Amino acid sequence: MKVERAAIAATIAFAIAPLHAQSVDEVSRLEQQGKRAYSSTYRGITAMGQYETVEDARTRDSGRRQEVRVELHGNTAIVTGIGNTGGGADRVLRIWMKDGEKWQIVAGQTTWIGARTDVPDPSGPLPATTPADFKPASAAEVAIWRSQDALMRSFAEADPESYKRFSTEQSLRMTTGGDAIAREQWLDTIAKRSKGPVATVDEVRIGVYGTVGVVTLRGHEANPTRQSWVYLLQDGVWKLHLRFTSLIRN
């Protein structure tokens, strides 16, 4: 029986492989050609830490090309890469989803790499308020928020094992300066820190795209940020795969 199941699984994998490669090629081609279609529900975050509408994205994007990597998960593709503008290099994140025969971008974020001159200063501390509790609207949102809460608590409680349970082995965190922090490095950071309060966040929104989930929120640091946390559903658990962070500027 086990042999038969293995043979069936191998047959399915062999059949799916060409479709997987075709989808990766299709999204890569759209990226290279600068033909990026945005969903009407798109919500992005700019390198200035501001929310971005579909119209804003189209104006900013306008044929811009970047060197990107496409990671396919069913009908959802996670695109990451680096692009150059007049002011310097950017890290980019875009979440594509296939609707029928058409690929569209449903979420995204841009973060500058390094320091910039002639840009607005960070916005400064937010007013001292008590953020409203986030109320998930579906079973998937409940599960994603459970992972989100566990990850934030793992940092506050200096608990690297909890962070490991709720993150993929390949997970990366992008700093506000565009640096990439691998999981092992972050686990070491958590283990060495002192315990503290759980981060204050608000403006929480969750998008679920098959086995990919995206949490966007505002962080109440001394220099506030807007963040995108990208999750993958693995073995029944939503695990953090990528986090992008941009300083909110005036």
Antiparallel, parallel or unpaired: β 201-209 and 180-182? unpaired
Q: What is the pLDDT of residues 69-120, one digit of tens each?
A: 999 999 999 999 998 766 789 999 999 999 888 999 999 999 999 988 889 9
Other C-beta atoms closer than 10 Å to the C-beta of 149 total 13
The closest alpha carbon to 225, from 198, 197, 202, belongs to 202
The closest alpha carbon to 109, from 96, 92, 122, belongs to 92
Task: Name the β-bridge partners of 201.
Answer: 219
Residue 11's pLDDT is 40
* SS3 of residue 16 by DSSP: helix
Q: Residue range 125-141: average pLDDT?
A: 88
What distance, in Å, lies between the first and last C-alpha atoms of the chain? 63
For residue 118, give both structure tokens. Answer: 């002639």
Instruction: Write out the E strands in the chain.
Output: 38-45, 51-52, 67-73, 76-85, 88-99, 102-112, 167-174, 180-182, 201-209, 212-219, 225-234, 237-247
Q: Residue range 38-64: average pLDDT?
A: 88
64 pLDDT band, cuts 50/70/90, is: low
Based on its alpha-carbon atoms, the radius of gyration of the chain, rounded to whole angstroms, reads 19
Spans of all domains in the chain:
2-112, 139-247
Judge whether 2-112 and 139-247 match in fold: yes
Identify the residue with better confidence: 158 or 66. Answer: 158
Q: What is the pLDDT of residues 206-225, one digit of tens each?
A: 999 999 999 999 999 999 99
Q: Where are the alpha helices (DSSP H) in the chain?
A: 2-32, 54-61, 139-156, 160-165, 183-192
Query: 71: which DSSP letter?
Result: E
- Mean pLDDT across the chain, nearest whole number? 90
Question: How far is the C-alpha of 244 from the C-alpha of 242, rounded, in Å?
Answer: 7
Q: Above 60 in pLDDT, residue 12?
A: no
Contact partners, residue 206, CB within 8 Å, separation at least 6? 136, 137, 141, 144, 145, 213, 214, 215
CB 214 within 8 A of CB 93: no
Handedness of CA 143, 94, 244, 223 (dihedral sign): negative
Could you name the CATH architecture of 139-247?
Roll (3.10)
For residue 123, give both structure tokens. Answer: 């916005």
Write the single-letter amino acid at 226: R
Residue 86's pLDDT is 66
The closest alpha carbon to 238, from 147, 159, 172, belongs to 147
Q: Above 90 in pLDDT, residue 19?
A: no
The CATH topology of domain 2-112 is: Nuclear Transport Factor 2; Chain: A, (3.10.450)
8 pLDDT band, cuts 50/70/90, is: very low
The closest alpha carbon to 65, from 21, 102, 35, belongs to 35
